[in-house]
Chain A
Amino acid sequence: GQQLNQSPQSMFIQEGEDVSMNCTSSSIFNTWLWYKQDPGEGPVLLIALYKAGELTSNGRLTAQFGITRKDSFLNISASIPSDVGIYFCAGQGTSGTYKYIFGTGTRLKVLA
């Protein structure tokens, strides 16, 4: 099935470092969503993006909707131990579809 390419698959970083991850697709999307999932829980929405070029922040998190509409980026500044988890991107296609397609996730581990 169709999935987004999300990278990196996993990363270990030191507390206080900045983190970057991205998602790419061969298809154009109208909406990009970024989620965080903790063990044993459902994904929690972090940021939603609706326009090409849009840059949106939520605390230490910043996400961008790529100009080509085929990619999106998430940055976490000054990481802390509670940032540990799996981060997923999701894209919703062009008008007429209600489907959201998910990336395979980036597993983040923060070393104190």
Chain B
Amino acid sequence: NAGVTQTPKFQVLKTGQSMTLQCAQDMNHNSMYWYRQDPGMGLRLIYYSASEGTTDKGEVPNGYNVSRLNKREFSLRLESAAPSQTSVYFCASSEVGELFFGEGSRLTVL
């Protein structure tokens, strides 16, 4: 049982480049989330999807877009990467009050 799977695990981008982080869960959860983690800042919510077909902004949505492709998959897109988006990105899914995380995607923007 893989749980929450994120790809890629590492990525280096130049300022202005675009990329998509992929996330898939095999737990049949309705809700999915994207967080970013920066030193000393804890985890901050970027976007979430309460159920298939819906998406909503979190605390720090600027510079990001998301797509809930189906119940299993929730992608995060950076259209024009900026150095301030250098971070570790975590995808998570939830059901019945419990939130489960993937292993993270470490993104560096030069």
- A interface vs B, CB < 8 Å? 1-3, 6, 30-31, 33, 35, 40-45, 48, 50, 88, 90, 92, 98-105
Contact = CB atoms under 8 A, between A and B. Distances in A.
B42 A100 contact: no
B102 A98 contact: no
Contacts of A30: 97
The bracket for how many chain B residues form the interface is: 20 to 34
A31 B97 contact: yes
A86 to B, nearest CB: 9
A108 B75 CA distance: 33
A85 to B, nearest CB: 14
Interface of B: 4, 31, 33, 35, 40-45, 48, 50, 56, 58-60, 90, 94, 97-104
B103 A45 contact: no
Given A2-B59, A99-B45, A100-B94, 8 more contacts: A6-B42, A33-B97, A41-B104, A43-B43, A50-B97, A98-B56, A102-B43, A102-B44
A73 B33 CA distance: 25
B90 A42 contact: yes
A99 B48 contact: yes
Nearest to B90: A42
Contacts of A105: 42
Contact of A88 (B40, B43, B100): B43
A98 B48 contact: yes
A3 B103 CA distance: 22
